[in-house]
Structure 1
Amino acid sequence: MRADSAIEWTESTWNPVTGCDRVSAGCDNCYALALAKRLQAMGSPRYRVDGDPRTSGPGFGVTLHHDLVDAPRAWRRPRIVFVNSMSDLFHARVPLAFIQRVFETMEATPQHTYQVLTKRATRLARLAPQLSWPDNVWMGVSVENAQQLDRVNELRKVPAAVRFLSCEPLLGPLDSLDLTGISWVIVGGESGPRYRPVDLEWVRRVRDACSLSDVPFFFKQWGGRTPKIAGRELDGRLWDQMPVAATG
């Protein structure tokens, strides 16, 4: 858990769950999987469980950290919190009862804003009626290419105050993207030694769609071998728009 995150669109991370499995092309070069392997090699007790080598890897088996569920209750300074940067809260191996405990903590700490992001949009929509949805919980889905646009339809079923999209890594055009009911869009290129370059026009089209729909647009990075190598400017400026509901 970090008090200060290097992720541009958040302030802190909170990982009551670690570990995951690849489910689509956006997972191919997962930074969290690579980081988990390093943390296991360093002896971190949170990353002892290995995942299935076909879909996961060393230190990246899904693990519930019951001792961390209540951690935000002790944080005095209001902050924006990315929930499970090292996992997916709606993974099939995370029980509903545990997810409900995480949501109870978020509801009990309205001074913080929580950003929850999933690729398991179908399970999210199915479980949403059994969860509380306070205004400080932002719910997002990852959409890396047009093949994953159905995730946006599932997200629209969720009664979150803020629904957002993370189009990172953006791996193809999203020309039929429908932003109805969406409050925020993040776009970023892939980084790492096997990164796939993002096309300028793909990014511009998402930005322009956001502009037409009056949806805040956040451009995180161009990507490359390292996340910062190509910078963050798009057409000569930074795009750091956020939903109005942010606290911190």
Structure 2
Amino acid sequence: MAHDSAIEWTDSTWNPVTGCTKITAGCENCYAARFAERFRGVPGHPFENGFDLQLRPERLEQPFAWRRPRMIFVNSMSDLFHKAIPKDFIDGVFTTMERADWHTFQVLTKRSSLLRDYLKQRYQAAAVPSHIWIGVSVESAEAKSRIEHLRQSPEAVRFLSIEPLIGAVGAMNLEGIHWVIAGGESGARARPMHIDWAREVRDECSRQSVPFFFKQWGGFRPKSGGRELDGREWNEMPTASVA
């Protein structure tokens, strides 16, 4: 568990699973894979097996050790809805989140149809608890179907992570979406983000009254280009009571 996350829109990270496989263009330069593979073969290191998928049941109850409420990004080093993760393990993660209700948990996935199907089965006609926020990644127009999958899920605090923004997204229907994060890619092979793409996302949020958070321009290092868009930082957050 990272007590103080460098991710601007959360406080801490919790990784009951690590490792993943790349499935879309947005995964091409994955920061988590890049970090983990640096330690492949290092005996005793948490990433001795690089970015291979690994369940970490010993971490399932970590959030209970933090008594002070905080925002927790779940699986910053994986995707909780990877097809190789057993349903009963996902159940364990959700049980912990439901019980540790003094925290706010942020669950983000690219595997949006699996998220939708799981939530429908777990919550049926009920809403997802309001302290569990559910999000999908949308890196370009080609990934917008994930927004509809998210909207088809049970009522929840729903958010989009439009990062890395590698192409124009175009018009979006943000009905039922409560927060949008956008940002550019970072790292040695970072693909540049056009300012018009970022403006387009911000303007869609403004038009539809959805809080907008601009994370970074990206570049060789995450903070290379700063966080300002048109002369200001955008740090809007959702209201946790929307669900």
* Cα distance in 2 between the residues matched to 1:23 and 1:190: 17
Residues 1:221 and 2:212 are matched in the alignment = no
**Deviation per CA, 1:178-200, whole angstroms, max 9, x where unpaired?**
11110000000011111110010
Shift of 1:43: 3.9
Q: Match for 1:192 among 187, 200, 214? A: 187
**Deviation per CA, 1:109-145, whole angstroms, max 9, x where unpaired?**
1100000000001111121123342111000000000
Residues 15 and 175 (structure 1 numbering): CA distance in 2 closer, same or farther, change over 3 Å?
same
* Cα distance in 2 between the residues matched to 1:208 and 1:21: 33
* Cα distance in 1 between the residues matched to 2:4 and 2:44: 19
Q: Secondary structure at the match of 2:40?
A: helix
For normalisation by structure 1, the TM-score amounts to 0.92
Determine the structure 2 residue equivalent to 1:147: 142
Determine the structure 2 residue equivalent to 1:233: 228
Q: Secondary structure at the match of 1:13?
A: strand
Residues 1:245 and 2:228 are matched in the alignment = no
Determine the structure 1 residue equivalent to 2:21: 21
* Cα distance in 2 between the residues matched to 1:47 and 1:196: 26
Q: Secondary structure at the match of 2:120?
A: helix
Map 1:49-128; keep pairs closer than 5 Å. Answer: 49=49, 59-128=50-119
Residues 26 and 44 (structure 1 numbering): CA distance in 2 closer, same or farther, change over 3 Å?
farther
* Cα distance in 2 between the residues matched to 1:198 and 1:161: 30
Determine the structure 2 residue equivalent to 1:56: none
Q: Match for 2:207 among 209, 212, 216? A: 212
* Cα distance in 2 between the residues matched to 1:129 and 1:73: 26
Determine the structure 1 residue equivalent to 2:48: 48
> Which structure 2 residue ranges, 5 or more long, are not aligned?
none
**Deviation per CA, 1:32-73, whole angstroms, max 9, x where unpaired?**
001111233554543233xxxxxxxxx111110001011111
Q: Secondary structure at the match of 1:6?
A: coil
Q: Match for 1:135 among 116, 120, 130? A: 130
Q: Secondary structure at the match of 2:215?
A: strand
- Larger deviation, residues 106-115 vs 151-160: 151-160
Determine the structure 1 residue equivalent to 2:171: 176
**Deviation per CA, 1:124-167, whole angstroms, max 9, x where unpaired?**
11211233421110000000000000000001111242110000
Q: How many residues are paired up?
A: 237
* Cα distance in 2 between the residues matched to 1:63 and 1:230: 34
* Cα distance in 2 between the residues matched to 1:139 and 1:128: 10
* Cα distance in 1 between the residues matched to 2:95 and 2:174: 29
* Cα distance in 2 between the residues matched to 1:70 and 1:208: 40
CA contact (8 A) 2:19 2:78 kept: yes
> Which structure 1 residue ranges, 5 or more long, are not aligned?
50-58
1:90 maps to amino acid: F
* Cα distance in 1 between the residues matched to 2:184 and 2:114: 27
Q: Secondary structure at the match of 2:81?
A: coil
CA contact (8 A) 2:69 2:102 kept: yes
* Cα distance in 2 between the residues matched to 1:42 and 1:237: 43
* Cα distance in 1 between the residues matched to 2:43 and 2:212: 39
CA contact (8 A) 1:139 1:160 kept: no
Q: Secondary structure at the match of 1:125?
A: helix
- Larger deviation, residues 215-224 vs 32-41: 32-41
Residues 1:159 and 2:154 are matched in the alignment = yes
Aligned identity (percent) is: 55
